[in-house]
Amino acid sequence: MNDLSNISSLRLGITAGGQLAKMLVLSASNWDIKTYVMDADPHCPASHNCTKFFKGSHTSYDDVYRFGQEVDMITYEIESINVEALKKLKSEGKIILPDPEVLEIIQDKGLQKLFFKEHQIPTADFKLFKDKSEIIMAIQKDELRVPFVQKVRQGGYDGRGVIVVDDPTKLSKLMDAPSVVEEKIRIKKEIAVIAARNTLGEVNHFPAVEMEFNPEANLVEKLICPADIPPDISTKAGKLADKLISAWNMTGLLAIEMFLDENDGLWINEVAPRPHNSGHHTIESNVTSQFEQLLRAILGLPLGSMELKKPAIMLNLLGEPGYEGIAKYLGLHETLQIAGVKVHLYGKKFTKPFRKMGHITILGNSRQDAIDKANQVKNHIKIIS
């Protein structure tokens, strides 16, 4: 898009309408861009803030295709979109960014891994299997040995569709689906880097963040920026991120999850071509947020500075286990008494155990200061019903 003199009338389509779309809508609204959101749920987080809401499923060819007729360009907040509809729209001249061809590869963890291999991107060694019986056969023939990690090729998210088979008893949990089976990495830390590339080919990345998972829910619970890793590893992670987004020749954001192993080796785990949970803190802690950066990238604007202004922690606000029903937020007053605390509630009416209901960014004067404040916040806030 070269002529932005009419940016106020630009109709930006976003599928679907979860919290990532909501934050993108809020950012686009700063530039008076008109946001059109499609989601199957009329009460989804982005529905209340967007310019126009369309009810429709992002997995349906007809719904996505029809939505495309209403907007000037489409971007997305979720991978599982009907890619055939996006390709059709693109062939008819609609701007779809990131490219549907990139999305199509990333939707399939098998194709993703093959892409890494082809471009000499370090990733855990892997094999592809058609189904569970093929995996069992490989074990019987001693071609595959425990420990390993099985991942379904399509449709997994938030740890669903991934099993770590670290002892033979776990073999009973093998999933019967086309899968990637990969070497189990001895992980010291999980980090993430979000890279951006604009239509002009300019590339940059946010500083690496460190992710801590909730062991029960297999969800990111806490994220710390900057990551506590040696400077040379942080530089290496950034270079890998730039290399990967350039290899795809894509326009937009690429969120890259990486493992740092016990010998300080870096391995690419998986990628997502969209804003990511590991970039929420950038709204307050970086010069440019991931959402503004996505807009800059797809509109052909210069990328903004991705520099960290202050150390930050991001806490995902997950629904408290044991509660299901209309959400109630406890401890907001106490939480907001702490300096540098920014609360984001997504506006999901119903809570359930471990549902992502919001997040909190905590800015600190040092990394330790942010960690101390985050520990206080965790004691105050709870989402129950």
Q: Is 77 in the site for ligand ATP (CB under 6 A)?
A: no
Within 240-279, the residues that bind Mg ion by CB under 5 A are 257
DSSP conformational letter for 94: -
At 356, list the tokens.
Answer: 């992502």
Q: How far apart are CA 95 and CA 310, in angstroms?
A: 36
Query: In sequence order, what are the beta bridge partners of 36?
Result: 13, 52
State which of residues 113, 151, 222, 373 lies at the interface with ligand ATP (CB under 6 A): 151
String of b and e for 151-167 (b: at least 16 CB within 10 Å)?
Answer: bbbbebeeeebbbebee
Within 225-264, the residues that bind ligand ATP by CB under 6 A are 257
Element containing residue 371 per DSSP (H, E): helix 367-380
Pairing of strands 252-261, 203-205: unpaired
Scanning 91-99, 149-157, 196-204, 350-358 for contacts with ligand ATP by CB under 6 A, the matching segment is 149-157
Three-state SS for 256-313 is EEEEEECCCCEEEEEEECCCCHHHCCHHHHECCCHHHHHHHHHCCCCCCCCCECCCEE
Q: Is 162 in the site for ligand ATP (CB under 6 A)?
A: yes
Of the candidates 203, 151, 204, the residue with the CA atom closest to the CA atom of residue 181: 151
Q: Is 161 in the site for ligand ATP (CB under 6 A)?
A: yes
Residues with Cβ within 8 Å of residue 69, at least 6 apart in sequence: none
Find which of Mg ion, ligand ATP, none residue 320 binds, CB within 5 to 8 Å per kind.
none
Pairing of strands 34-39, 148-152: unpaired
Closest approach of Cβ 99 to ligand ATP, in Å?
A: 21
Scanning 28-36, 127-135, 185-193, 301-309 for contacts with ligand ATP by CB under 6 A, the matching segment is 185-193
Answer whether 18's CB lies under 8 Å from 46's CB: yes
At 355, list the tokens.
Answer: 């549902």
Q: Is 300 in the site for ligand ATP (CB under 6 A)?
A: no
Residues with Cβ within 8 Å of residue 336, at least 6 apart in sequence: 343
Q: Is the CB of 319 or the CB of 340 nearer to ligand ATP? A: 319
Closest approach of Cβ 214 to ligand ATP, in Å?
A: 11
Site string for ligand ATP, 187-226 (x = CB under 6 A): x--x------------------------------------
State which of residues 63, 77, 79, 182 lies at the interface with ligand ATP (CB under 6 A): 182
Q: Is 282 in the site for ligand ATP (CB under 6 A)?
A: no
Tell how far CA 309 is from the center of its chain: 22
Q: Is the CB of 214 or the CB of 385 nearer to ligand ATP? A: 214
At 152, list the tokens.
Answer: 């379904």
State which of residues 14, 37, 46, 149 lies at the interface with ligand ATP (CB under 6 A): 149
Find which of ligand ATP, Mg ion, none residue 21 binds, CB within 5 to 8 Å per kind.
none
Query: In sequence order, what are the beta bridge partners of 94?
Result: none
Find which of ligand ATP, Mg ion, none residue 156 binds, CB within 5 to 8 Å per kind.
ligand ATP
Q: Look up tokens 């290496």; give the residue.
A: 236
State which of residues 16, 25, 28, 124 lies at the interface with ligand ATP (CB under 6 A): 124
Closest approach of Cβ 7 to ligand ATP, in Å?
A: 33
Scanning 29-37, 73-81, 85-93, 154-162 for contacts with ligand ATP by CB under 6 A, the matching segment is 154-162
Q: Is 24 in the site for ligand ATP (CB under 6 A)?
A: no
Binding interface with ligand ATP (CB under 6 A) = 124, 149, 151, 156-162, 164, 182, 184-185, 187, 190, 257, 269-270
Residues that bind Mg ion (CB under 5 A): 257
